[in-house]
Amino acid sequence: MKRVELCQKVRRAVLIAGDSRRKTATYFGISRKTVDKMLKFPEPPAHDRSGVIYSRKLAGFTAIIDGILEADRTVHSKQRHTGNRIFERLRDEHGFSGGISIVRAYVSRARLRSREVFIPLMH
């Protein structure tokens, strides 16, 4: 069930059907605080984050990482860089002072962006 649909059902159960908030929370398997939030707003508020947020320490190194991943497309799959290896190269060759987790997260998102997609044809 989508978030908007759940919000509508919870509001209907409490405001129109007259069920208690506790009973509604138990029925839908959510917290009573969540029920209170759903009753406070007529529609669920949108998420605050928009776009992709990267670490400030990684900002100057994204072009280098993209270059490494682009070069990896031409080599055999066993010879490609892992996220750990890219972090080691950034640290040793370019003086990167950030952590390994932000590099690995960026690499995984970059690989998803560059993935080749096939769309089946309908006849």
Q: Write out pLDDT tens, residues 64-102.
A: 999 999 999 999 989 999 999 999 999 999 999 999 999
Q: Kindly tell me if the per-residue pLDDT of 123 is higher than 80.
A: no
1-19 pLDDT tens trace: 788 889 999 999 999 999 9
| Contact of 65 with 109, CB cutoff 8 Å | no
For residues 123 and 108, give the distance between their C-alpha atoms in angstroms, rounded to a whole number: 35
Q: What is the 3-state secondary structure (H, E, C) of the chain?
A: CCHHHHHHHHHHHHHHCCCCHHHHHHHHCCCHHHHHHHHHCCCCCCCCCCCCCCCCCCHHHHHHHHHHHHHHCCCCHHHCCCHHHHHHHHHHHHCCCCCHHHHHHHHHHHHHHCCCCCCCCCC
Q: Kindly tell me if the per-residue pLDDT of 53 is higher than 80.
A: no
Q: Kindly tell me if the per-residue pLDDT of 116 is higher than 90.
A: no
Mean pLDDT of 31-53: 80
